[in-house]
Amino acid sequence: MTNLRQSLGIGFLCVLLLGFLRAGEKAGAQNCTVTVQPGQSVQQAINAVNEGALICITAGTFTENLTLAKSLSLRGAGRAQTVLQGTVRIERDQEIKVTLIALTVTGSRLGAAVRVAGKANVTLEDVALTESFMGVLAVGSAHVALATADVMNNQFDGVRAEGTSLITVQSTRIADNGLDGVVVRDSAELKLNESVIENNKRCGLRVFSGKASGTPNTMRGNGADLCGFAPVALRKPLVPQTDKTQLAVPGDFQNLQEALDALAPGGTVLLQNGTYEVGLTIWKPVALRGNATLRALPERQLVLSVIADAQAVTLDGVTVTGSRGDGLLVYGPTTLRNVQSTRHADDGVEIAGSAVVELLSSSVSGSGDDGIFVSENARLTLLDSTVSDNGGDGIEARDSTRVRLQNSQVSKNKLRGLEMRISAQLELANSQVMENKSDGLALRDSVQATLESAQILKNGADGLLVTDKARATLTSSTIAENGNDGLEVSSAATAEIRRTVLQSNGSAEACLRADQLCSGVVAIGDAQVRLIDSAVRGSADWGIMAWLRRCGATFDFFRGAVAFEGTNAIENNNRSGNHKGNPGAHPFANLPDGQVCLP
């Protein structure tokens, strides 16, 4: 009897438990406004439901691009079970609240796995954003909360905030992305807490502008952990900082980043001879010295980053090489002394923000793009240094930058020697710009340049191009043996040439043809040119010409002025023999044919 009662009791409990389970399943199903099964369209479900709906997506792969413009939730069966193959776009000018939970979004080749715009407020919880062009992109004034998620293996950035957007990242892993782990720019804001950012090809966290805050996060294996204006407080140091002002690698530490983290501000790390594979973040005033090679970690696109918060950083005697992107990314005050930056796939050195950078007895060579790229409000000084054999320009500077070269050489670059744009300023003294494949120097937009005792020699195109509203002053300089024109001044640009020699320009073989014009000085458009106590000799075509049909141009395009002061020598030009007389109103009409052609 006792056994029978026990059996009946157990059976009753089982029935009761089964009832509760079935009731729970029924209640869970009732929470779903609609459930999407494999073979059905998630977008059709989105279109059909009202605001505030919960769309449940069962296990399976759903290949479609989704657009959401209303408040609702998408809930999968788990990130390993429910896979959305495509892009999720969430945007509306009015505030909406959208939640994605327990699913994976992957395979968006032309954009972000999740793109949030307008005034959308989006929560991404327990999701994976993988193998897309980008993981998550927030633009406009969108808000995105990313929690307990994985953002991995995307071609470009993992997480990117632009405009006035806000992204909050909590307990999330951002790893193995093809460029940066997290990017903040414009007036966007990032709140980063208790997350892991690792093995991203360039920067773990890069802040161009905007605001970033939060708690310390684990960062490792990136091209560099922090870049630009990224706050140092968001990165957990590998080891605690000490009061030691000198440390040796590998004596005191095997790991160079550990040594930098441990070093007291203002201290020095001494590197023994050898090669170190690194992805360094320099975040405080330190010196790094030694006859050693710093090579990028495998497949990484950066060797070393100096963030804006760093002060008085010095690199002395090291070689920086082997990046799949830039060699050095510098936002803080830095001196490079006896440093070689060589053989990077992109720029040798990128300088931005308000960085003040000096290259002393250093060289930048063999980069796939520019040798040195300078932007924003940065300042660059080259003293006794060389920039050569790079795949783009030797030096490209733009925005409100200032570049100063003294006793230096920019040579044999595949494009221009120097390219100056927007409001950049250039001072070049006792330096050479030579044997670059295109122009020696190109000054554009509103650039201002002062060149003294400069030698602009044997460049493949023009020696010096001054265009748009740029202004250039040359004193005691030489512009010689350049492939096309020695000096071209065009648009509304201004050039003043003092005690300078322009000689044997138009050295390219094509310049001897009748359909080519390669002159010492060419004025086009509204250009203003003043020649003071200077000489123009041995040009292939005219010594000095305006862009007019009478000078051999295909159309008339000159409304500016060419003025002469002091004693100028215009002689032995017209090597092509293609020009007769010296047309125009100027003091050189009685010279041999082909010396000057003006209105």
pLDDT, residue 225, reads 98
8: pLDDT confidence band, cut at 50, 70 and 90?
A: very low
255: pLDDT confidence band, cut at 50, 70 and 90?
A: very high
DSSP 475-506: ES-EEES-SS-SEEE-TT-EEEEES-EEES--
pLDDT, residue 7, reads 40
Instruction: Locate 443 and state its tokens.
Output: 């000054």
DSSP 29-69: HHH-SEEEPTTS-HHHHHHHSPTTEEEEE-SEEEE--EEE-
Q: pTM, whole model, 2 decimals?
A: 0.93
Q: How far apart are alpha carbons 296 and 76 in whole angstroms?
A: 40
Residues 6+ apart with CB under 8 A from 390: 348, 364, 365, 366, 367, 368, 369, 370, 371, 413, 414
Instruction: State the average pLDDT over residues 308-330.
Output: 97
pLDDT, residue 5, reads 36
Selection from 135, 220, 201 nearest residue 169 by Cα: 135
- Reported as a single tens digit per residue, the pLDDT across 187-238 is 999 999 999 999 999 999 999 999 999 999 999 999 999 999 999 999 999 9
pLDDT tops 80 at residue 100: yes
pLDDT, residue 110, reads 87
Please, are residues 379 and 356 in contact by the beta-carbon 8 Å criterion? Answer: yes
Instruction: State the average pLDDT over residues 109-114.
Output: 94
- Reported as a single tens digit per residue, the pLDDT across 13-38 is 333 233 323 333 333 445 999 999 99
- Reported as a single tens digit per residue, the pLDDT across 385-417 is 999 999 999 999 999 999 999 999 999 999 999
- Reported as a single tens digit per residue, the pLDDT across 140-184 is 999 999 999 999 999 999 999 999 999 999 999 999 999 999 999
Selection from 290, 303, 304 nearest residue 251 by Cα: 290
Instruction: State the average pLDDT over residues 504-528.
Output: 96
Burial readout 175-202 (b: 16 or more C-beta within 10 A, e: otherwise): bbbbbbbbbbbeebbbbbbebbbbbbbb
Q: Quote the radius of gyration of the chain (alpha carbons, Å).
A: 32
Amino acid at residue number 376:
E
The residue ranking higher by pLDDT, 7 or 407, is 407
pLDDT, residue 9, reads 41
pLDDT, residue 247, reads 98
Residues 6+ apart with CB under 8 A from 3: none
Query: Lowest-confidence range among 1-5, 143-147, 351-355?
Result: 1-5
Q: How far apart are alpha carbons 202 and 585 in whole angstroms?
A: 59
Instruction: Locate 494 and state its tokens.
Output: 């201004």
320 C-beta neighbours (distance < 10 Å), count: 26
Mean pLDDT score of the chain, rounded to an integer? 95
Instruction: Locate 492 and state its tokens.
Output: 């509304």
- Reported as a single tens digit per residue, the pLDDT across 534-590 is 999 999 999 999 999 999 999 999 999 999 999 999 999 999 999 999 999 999 999
- Reported as a single tens digit per residue, the pLDDT across 437-473 is 999 999 999 999 999 999 999 999 999 999 999 999 9
pLDDT, residue 12, reads 34
Please, are residues 426 and 420 in contact by the beta-carbon 8 Å criterion? Answer: yes
Strand partners, 451: 428, 474
Please count the residues of the chain: 599
Please, are residues 328 and 306 in contact by the beta-carbon 8 Å criterion? Answer: yes
Domains parsed from the chain with CATH numbers: 28-234 (2.160.20.10), 439-599 (2.160.20)
Amino acid at residue number 56:
C
221 C-beta neighbours (distance < 10 Å), count: 15
